[in-house]
Amino acid sequence: MISIPQSLIETALLPGLLAATRIVGLLLAAPFFALQTIPQRFRIGLALIIAFGIPLEIGALTAISIAGSSAGFFLLSATELLIGLAMGWLVRVGMIVFDVAAEIISIQTGLSFASQYNPDQALPSGVVGSLFGLIGLALMFVLNLHLVIIEIIFDSFRSLPPGRWPTMFNISSVLSVFAGSFGIGLLLALPFIAINLVVMAAQGFLGRTSPQMNLFSIGFALTIPIGVFLIYVLLPVFPEALQRSQEGVYGLLRQALSLTRGN
How many domains are there within the chain? 1
Q: What is the pLDDT of residue 263?
A: 44
Query: Domain for residue 97, yes or no?
Result: yes
Buried b (16+ CB within 10 A) or exposed e, 38-68: eeeeebeebbbebbbebbeeeebbeebeeee
Q: What is the mean pLDDT of residues 100-105?
A: 86
The residue among 17 and 123 whose pLDDT is bigger is: 17
Q: What is the mean pLDDT of residues 77-87?
A: 85
Name 214's Cβ contacts closer than 8 Å, sequence gap at least 6: none
Query: Domain for residue 253, yes or no?
Result: yes
Query: Domain for residue 213, yes or no?
Result: yes
pLDDT at 259 > cutoff 50? no
Res. 134 pLDDT band, cuts 50 70 90 = confident
Q: What is the pLDDT of residue 255?
A: 81
21: domain range? 6-262
Query: Domain for residue 204, yes or no?
Result: yes
Alpha-helical runs (H) found in the chain: 6-8, 14-29, 40-51, 54-58, 70-94, 96-109, 127-142, 145-159, 171-209, 215-234, 238-262
Query: Domain for residue 1, yes or no?
Result: no
Give the model confidence (pLDDT) of 154-194 as tens digits: 777 777 777 677 877 888 888 888 898 899 988 888 888 88
Query: Domain for residue 255, yes or no?
Result: yes
Query: Domain for residue 186, yes or no?
Result: yes
